[in-house]
């Protein structure tokens, strides 16, 4: 999809994930505490599909300008930043949830998911800053400032 649609595929992935997060918020607030896995499945499928489209493409876009002789270093730095971001995100959102949980489980969960939704919206808005993909070669083209 990235070879055919370029950055638009990344934006579509972010939008799909955002829709799934919004649906998850709605389902949780409307049905808590009796929410079944079957009810959550459509939202979780959207979140997973959108996330796979968005983040796999981001790796390609970020590493597209790294010279081949530095590809190992570039991918190592990217993976380190990804893992650090995941750990920091879990710690931050987990702390937010625990701080809000006394007000109600559903409300605390919805607030944390809304925070994720805002992050995804910010990512989608920033996709335009990524280098353009060359449709013939499938590689990112450097941006000239």
Domain spans of the chain, in order of start = 2-129
Q: What is the 3-state secondary structure (H, E, C) of 45-77?
A: HHHHHHHHHHHHHHHHHHHCCCCHHHHHHHHHH
For 42, the enclosing helix (H) or strand (E) is helix 37-63
Q: How far apart are CA 119 and CA 125, in angstroms?
A: 10
23 close to 42: Cβ distance less than 8 angstroms: yes
pTM over 0.85: no
Which whole number is the average pLDDT over 72-95? Answer: 93
Q: Model confidence over 13-52: pLDDT tens digits?
A: 999 999 999 999 999 999 999 999 999 999 999 999 999 9
């Amino acid at each position: 999809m990235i070879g055919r649609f370029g950055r638009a595929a990344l934006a579509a992935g972010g939008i799909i994930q955002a829709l799934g997060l919004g649906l998850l918020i709605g389902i949780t607030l409307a049905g808590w505490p009796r929410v079944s896995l079957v009810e959550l499945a459509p939202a979780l499928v959207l979140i997973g599909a959108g996330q796979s489209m968005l983040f796999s493409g981001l790796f390609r876009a970020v590493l597209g300008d790294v010279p081949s002789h530095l590809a190992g270093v570039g991918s190592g730095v990217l993976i380190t930043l990804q893992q650090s971001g995941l750990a920091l995100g879990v710690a931050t959102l987990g702390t937010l949830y625990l701080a809000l949980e006394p007000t109600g489980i559903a409300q605390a969960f919805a607030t944390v998911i809304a925070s994720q939704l805002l992050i995804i919206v910010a990512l989608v808005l920033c996709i335009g800053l990524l280098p353009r993909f060359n449709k013939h070669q499938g590689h990112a083209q450097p941006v000239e400032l």
